[in-house]
Structure 1
């Protein structure tokens, strides 16, 4: 993770590139390379804060700020009216976490340990929540795809707002369930190794500065998306569903893989599935609410995005249902991700 700090040099480079109006392709690449280490710094700051707040609250903060980068990028895309990119990034984050991150964790962890075990009860609870979340995303899409366009009126735009409110309430109740009424279901809290290297004040300041820097870089990134896709012939769907989730969650993804290689599959699965849940139940509703400040955004995904989401959840549930994982199951998840990525590229 420390090598990512060398990439911080791309922050001043991105400022210069923006001032001299470098090509959109170069702006996209440079701002992406600047966001990746900033996400890592943000993760490190929340990890330091967890030494003071306790492992349970720390885990929640890690999950929340792990998705903060993508939320910031999506906000600027929302502001720019790139609704397809925003919705694709939501779907891409879920697909990437469930297939790529979980798959890579199972594969690399499985190469080191023949069989890795994890808490089956926690996975079943998270899987049922994930299934609910996918149903929540499917209903407005199925509804609008089965109704003729001339029958759709403005009042149906508020369907997404109503569903977003329901999903957000479920998210809050899910936190209450895991932190209070059924915290014993999740077993003992993960203990933090070592001691805090930073003071609480320094951790908070670094977290704030990293967030501001990510917001700045995200604006550069989003402004270059449309001209960049036109210049090299990429679809905005591919950028949203593959590139942005990888850029925004790179640091978090590497953490899950490192945990798996330390034979801490519970933590790796918690990062992969927990992050997916938070994207659907927290980030997506927040983006719908924020869109009301500009132009209302519906949570209506196209047919292929919807199928990809459903397939991802089903195969992840099947692979993780026995409380054990191996390298072959990891390869299967990665293979499905590659197939989906190729389909969006074409």
Structure 2
């Protein structure tokens, strides 16, 4: 994780590139490389604050700020009217976490340990929630794809808002389930008391500064998306579903792999599946609500995004159902991710 901090040099470089009006491709690259270490430091600051606040509030903070980078980037994309990029980044984050992160964790962990075990009960709860969430995303999409477009009026915009509200309520109930009524299920090995490395004041200051810096870099990033995709002849779907999720979650991804290599597969699975749940049940509804400030965004995904989401969730359920993992299962998940990525690239 420490090597990511060397990427902080790209913050002044990206600012200079923006003011000098360099080629949008360079602005996109420099701002992307700036966001990666900032997301890692933001995660570190959140963990430090959670030590002071206690496990319950700490868990909520980690859940809220775990995908803050994704939320900030998507907010500026919403503001710019790039709804396809926003929806693709939601789908891409879920697919990336379930297939790429979980797959890479199982692969690298499996190369070191023959078989790795994790808490089957937690995975069953999270997988069920994930399946519910994907069904929630499918309903409005199937409805609009089957109804004659001329018959769809503005009143159907409320379908997306209603689904988003239902998913957000389920997210809050899920937090209540894990932190209160069934907290004994989540008493995992990494819950032991830790000693804070930073003071509370420093942790909050670092969190605020990182949030502001990510907001600035996100504005640069989003501003360069359209000209960059036109220059490189890339689709906005590919940028949204593959590139932006990898940028926003790079620090979190590396943490999951490191945990798997330390034989802490519980933590790796929790990061991969838990982060996917946060994206669908927290980030997606919040973005729908925020879009009301500009132009309402529907929660309707295209057919390929829906198929990719459903397939990813079903594979994750199948692979994680026995509470054990090995390197071959990891390769299978990564291979499916590569196939989906190639589909969006073409």
Q: Normalized against structure 2, the TM-score is what?
A: 0.98
5+ unaligned residues in a row in structure 2: which ranges? none
How many Å separate the matches in 2 of 1:191 and 1:312? Answer: 29
Q: Deviations over 1:126-162 (max 9, x none)?
A: 0000000000000000000000111100100110000
How many Å separate the matches in 2 of 1:75 and 1:29? Answer: 19
Q: Partner of 2:322 in structure 1?
A: 322
Contact 1:55–1:190 (Cα < 8 Å) also in 2: no
Contact 2:51–2:194 (Cα < 8 Å) also in 1: no
Could you say what secondary structure the match of 1:190 adopts? helix
How many Å separate the matches in 2 of 1:57 and 1:257? Answer: 26
Deviation of 1:189 after TM superposition, in Å, equals: 6.0
Deviation of 1:270 after TM superposition, in Å, equals: 0.6
1:280 corresponds to 2:267? no
Deviation of 1:178 after TM superposition, in Å, equals: 0.6
CA separation of 1:189/1:59 partners in 2, compared to 1, >3 Å: closer, same or farther? farther
How many Å separate the matches in 2 of 1:263 and 1:56? Answer: 25
Q: Partner of 2:119 in structure 1?
A: 119
Q: Deviations over 1:34-83 (max 9, x none)?
A: 00010011011112112212345434423321200000000000000000
How many Å separate the matches in 2 of 1:197 and 1:338? Answer: 38
Q: Partner of 1:159 in structure 2?
A: 159
Q: Normalized against structure 1, the TM-score is what?
A: 0.98
Q: How many residues align?
A: 346
Deviation of 1:192 after TM superposition, in Å, equals: 5.0
> What's the Cα RMSD here?
1.1
Q: Partner of 2:332 in structure 1?
A: 332
How many Å separate the matches in 1 of 2:262 and 2:60? Answer: 21
Contact 1:92–1:240 (Cα < 8 Å) also in 2: yes
Contact 1:55–1:189 (Cα < 8 Å) also in 2: no
1:209 corresponds to 2:209? yes
How many Å separate the matches in 2 of 1:57 and 1:102? Answer: 26
Q: Partner of 2:245 in structure 1?
A: 245
Q: Partner of 2:142 in structure 1?
A: 142
Q: Deviations over 1:204-254 (max 9, x none)?
A: 000000000000000000000000000000000000000000000000011
Contact 1:67–1:279 (Cα < 8 Å) also in 2: yes
How many Å separate the matches in 2 of 1:183 and 1:209? Answer: 33
